[in-house]
Amino acid sequence: MSVPLTSKTPAGQEPSFRHELYPYRGDTQFLTGTLGFIREALDAGEAIIIAVPADKASLLREELTDEPAVTFVEASAAGANPGRHIAAWTAWMSEQGEGDRPVRGIGETAWRLARNAAHLSELRYNEWLLNRAFARSPAWSMLCPYDAADEDRSALRSVSRCHPLIHQDGQSVRNEGFLSADDYVFDALPDPCDPFQELAYTHGDLSAVRSKVSRCAADAGVPEDRLPKLAVAVTEIATNSIRHGGGRGTLRSWTQDATFLCEFRDAGYISDQLAGRTRPTAEQMGGRGLWLAHQLCDLVEIRSTRDQGTTVRLHMDIPQ
């Protein structure tokens, strides 16, 4: 595939975090690109972390016997929620990068396992956020294989715009279609499905918010053992509205496509694009609410602008 793309980094400069998309077709191309990437790392004395689907991991294991610098991790270990993936890669990199030893990662997102449009949108956003999360990590490189066999050029184009580099014919080609720091455009949040429940809340209403959500979630079919987790996430997000969103907010909840959703709207603004996606430190004051929501819910969507305020949607899957 010929993709004549270049990045928006200053002329003559490489991005510090090397984040490359590798479009491939079939197992042979998958192995050609990934093994070339791995052999470069081995020749340079770098560590390699591989997080790919099980069938692809089996192919690589057959080619990489007794390579102590190569570590395979379960691609599903971080869970299905893309909001947990940056923290997982941070931990894996920390474990394998001894001292200043450079680390390379191979991470293939299971795009075809996306449960719905919201999940797919968050997967793409996470790919773009990796560039922000590791912008100051010159010793960290990631290759992202992408199965392009279905010829869906629009999907490939959307994913490629999240990567500064394209891995092509064994070389890294700059991607002029890459979305720079201020260019990311979110997919619009669809309106809630009818019927939906709505509740305005302010100081002293947290108990009412928890009760409302727990009752609606139980009626929707959210398993009983998950209701306490949802209650914690709901409390954290509503508390953020009261503390940082003008002292009040609006809760809406509904069921759609085997998912229970609860949405919080307020007048606040979240300036940190990585809020909730990096593990809080023991010394950190605050900042744990969105982190907990990502850990406890199946998906978290955040939309925040200075003029329109903040919307946070929490998703909980309903067993079929």
- Nearest of 161, 186, 228, 116 to residue 5 by alpha carbon: 161
The alpha carbon torsion through 208, 209, 212, 215 (nearest 10 deg) reads -100
Q: Which two tokens stand for residue 245?
A: 């969103």
- Measured over the CA atoms of residue 291, residue 159, residue 308 and residue 251, the dihedral's sign is negative
pLDDT recorded at residue 297: 97
pLDDT recorded at residue 97: 67
Predicted TM-score (pTM) of the model is 0.89
E strands, the chain, are 18-24, 47-51, 70-72, 103-107, 140-147, 165-168, 171-174, 197-202, 248-256, 259-266, 299-305, 309-317
pLDDT over 60 (residue 268)? yes
| CATH number assigned to the domain with residue range 18-174, chosen from the 4 options 3.20.20.20, 3.90.650.10, 3.40.47.10, 3.40.50.300 | 3.40.50.300
pLDDT recorded at residue 287: 73
| Residue at 160: amino acid letter | S
Residue 8: CB partners within 8 Å, gap ≥ 6?
164, 176, 178, 180
Q: Is 17:141 a contact under the CB 8 Å cutoff?
A: yes
Residues 29 and 144: their CA atoms lie apart, in Å, by: 13
Q: Which two tokens stand for residue 87?
A: 């923290």
What is the residue whose two structure tokens read 């053992």?
225
pLDDT recorded at residue 98: 64
Residue 109: CB partners within 8 Å, gap ≥ 6?
123, 127, 144, 146
pLDDT recorded at residue 8: 36
Question: In percent, how much of the chain has pLDDT > 70?
Answer: 93
Domain spans of the chain, in order of start: 18-174, 197-317
pLDDT over 50 (residue 187)? yes
pLDDT over 50 (residue 6)? no
Give the pLDDT band (50/70/90) at residue 112: confident
Q: What is the pLDDT of residues 53-111, one digit of tens each?
A: 999 999 999 999 888 999 999 878 777 899 999 999 999 888 876 667 889 999 999 88
Mean pLDDT of 131-142: 85
- Nearest of 296, 201, 289 to residue 253 by alpha carbon: 201
Residues 163 and 184: their CA atoms lie apart, in Å, by: 12
Q: Which two tokens stand for residue 84?
A: 């947990």
Mean pLDDT across the chain: 89
Q: List the single range of 7-16, 121-130, 158-167, 280-289 with lowest mean pLDDT.
A: 7-16
In terms of DSSP bridges, do strands 309-317 and 259-266 run parallel, antiparallel, or are they unpaired?
antiparallel
Q: What is the pLDDT of residues 236-251, one digit of tens each?
A: 999 999 999 999 999 9
Question: Is pLDDT larger for residue 137 or for residue 14?
Answer: 137
Q: What is the pLDDT of residues 8-44, one digit of tens each?
A: 333 344 447 899 999 999 999 999 999 999 999 999 9
| Residue at 48: amino acid letter | I
CATH number for region 197-317: 3.30.565.10
Q: Is 279:247 a contact under the CB 8 Å cutoff?
A: no
pLDDT recorded at residue 10: 39
Mean pLDDT of 268-293: 88
Q: Is 131:17 a contact under the CB 8 Å cutoff?
A: yes
| Residue at 79: amino acid letter | G
Vertex 280: Cα angle to 275 and 281 (nearest 5): 145
Residues 175 and 52: their CA atoms lie apart, in Å, by: 23
- Nearest of 25, 255, 307, 240 to residue 151 by alpha carbon: 25
Mean pLDDT of 162-182: 88
